[in-house]
Amino acid sequence: MSDSAPSAPTGLSADITTSSSISLSWSASTDDGNSTITDYTIQYKKSADSSWSIFVDGTSVDTITTVTGLDSDVSYDFRISAVNAVGAGTYSSTISATTLKADSPPTISSISDLTMDEGATKTITVTDSDPDGDKVTLTLSGDTSFATISDKTITLNPDYTDAGDHTITVTATANAKSVDTSFTVTVTVNVITENQNLLNNPYSLSSWNIISNGGNGWLDYETIPRISGNWIPSKESFATSSDWNKKSQTVDIPSDLLSSMNNGDKVSLALTEDYSKTYCGEKINPSYYTTYSSNDQYYLTLRLLDSSGSILSEKSTGIINMTESCEWSRNWHTATVSFSADTIPKNTASIQVEHGGIDGENWKGYYGPVMKGITLSWNVQ
């Protein structure tokens, strides 16, 4: 039997269609003409045209192919023939398929600029769509150190290092076509200036831990109706007596200050108080008073404690000797102890304040140093 061209393929169909390609499949020829089939020839044309073109896809006996380079929204005709050593056989039945309309890019809603504080969290829902029904994927670019996206939700969570303006771009991509929108996030950092006073009710003795209450003990403004004299100048004052009067107060570090310290902010602490003699500051003339003869004394101390109450660091004025002569007029001085930025241990959990005074002449009553306006303040930059 002599060789002949193969029979026509059957079952030609268009399986997948895009705006520029159509995928075809078919069943192999049932008669190879007594010669092995070596290739399939694919012809195509616009349905409105009369002349056919051959789609060059290489030599293959696969029964699938994708015809590319087509115009969008156009009807095309296709036919297939098998090839062996004799030549091309009869063409299959012709089928028609239409490419999709040209793919349109997705759409995405605009996002308004916004301002937010460090440490805050904000979410933004992105609205997107695709005219062709393609799946839309969203990505972020630009200043995205504090921005993430999951599905269609953007989450913003800046910290103090993100202070300033940040431009973020959202890109929507569908079927290799993209569109984007940008917005600006302004991050504000809470620069906390001096706190009014960290001490708890500092001008009432009931708020303090009395360390020593020598002589007639501490005197505050609440006690003055029970005594005579002009020791206490205001509600913010204390007076001391003939032996050491000492007291302290411990306060936890406020959460916002602790957060600033943990964030690496520059934090400083300052403890201030005004002090004055009551009557005599200087050592009196021993010719008429010989039992005691020393200056009135005062001190102010600031301590930083860890969570167990152990002292991490301490600053103090030390003992201050007063030298003013004996008279009722006040001579106010300001005592200050402080911790500058970068000197506060990271594990500081609480702050302890201590102060005290003594009347060097040991007179009965309240002739020791007078103190007023004690204030513990802090500053963060």
CATH number for the domain spanning 279: value is 2.60.120.260
Length of the chain: 381
- Percent with pLDDT over 90 in the chain: 54
152 within a domain of the structure (yes/no): yes
Of the candidates 53, 67, 87, 63, which has an alpha carbon nearest to the alpha carbon of residue 10? 63
Rg, C-alpha atoms of the chain: 45
* Structure confidence by residue, pLDDT tens digits, 237-291: 888 888 899 999 999 887 667 777 777 777 888 999 999 887 775 665 554 444 4
| CA dist., res. 156 & res. 124, Å (int) | 8
271 in Cβ contact with 338 (< 8 Å): yes
Task: Kindly provide the residue ranges of all beta strands, DSSP E only, lying in 28-121, ordered along the sequence.
Answer: 39-46, 53-55, 64-67, 75-83, 95-98, 107-108, 114-117
213 within a domain of the structure (yes/no): yes
**What is the domain range of residue 131?**
107-188
* Structure confidence by residue, pLDDT tens digits, 36-71: 999 999 999 999 999 999 999 888 999 999 999 999
36 within a domain of the structure (yes/no): yes
Residues 241 and 349 in one domain: yes
200 within a domain of the structure (yes/no): no
Average pLDDT of the chain?
Answer: 86
Q: What is the pLDDT of residue 162?
A: 84
259 in Cβ contact with 316 (< 8 Å): no
273 in Cβ contact with 372 (< 8 Å): yes
pLDDT of 209 higher than 90? yes
Which of 46, 80, 98 is where one domain is finished? 98
pLDDT of 194 higher than 50? no
Q: What is the pLDDT of residue 235?
A: 64
If DSSP codes are grouped into helix, strand and coil, which group holds residue 272? strand
Residues 216 and 319 in one domain: yes
Residues 90 and 14 in one domain: yes
| CA dist., res. 180 & res. 178, Å (int) | 7
Residues 346 and 368 in one domain: yes
44 in Cβ contact with 53 (< 8 Å): yes
* Structure confidence by residue, pLDDT tens digits, 147-187: 999 999 999 999 867 888 999 999 999 988 899 999 999 99
DSSP 207: G
140 within a domain of the structure (yes/no): yes
Residues 129 and 234 in one domain: no
Q: What is the pLDDT of residue 381?
A: 63
197 in Cβ contact with 254 (< 8 Å): no
255 within a domain of the structure (yes/no): yes
Q: Is the pTM of this model over 0.75?
A: no
More confident residue, 330 or 48: 48
Confidence of residue 362 (pLDDT cuts 50, 70, 90): confident
| CA dist., res. 120 & res. 189, Å (int) | 10
283 in Cβ contact with 362 (< 8 Å): no
Task: Kindly provide the residue ranges of all beta strands, DSSP E only, lying in 126-230, ordered along the sequence.
Answer: 128-129, 137-142, 147-150, 153-156, 164-174, 177-188, 209-213, 219-220
Amino acid at 181: T
Beta bridge partners of 81: 41
Residues 89 and 70 in one domain: yes
Confidence of residue 212 (pLDDT cuts 50, 70, 90): very high
The enclosing domain of 122 has a CATH number of: 2.60.40.10
Which of 140, 155, 188 is where one domain is finished? 188
Q: What is the pLDDT of residue 226?
A: 43
Structure tokens at 146: 């504090």
Residues 224 and 301 in one domain: yes
Q: How many structural domains compose the chain?
A: 3
Confidence of residue 85 (pLDDT cuts 50, 70, 90): very high
pLDDT of 210 higher than 90? yes
Sign, Cα dihedral of 116, 161, 305, 316:
negative
Q: What is the pLDDT of residue 195?
A: 56
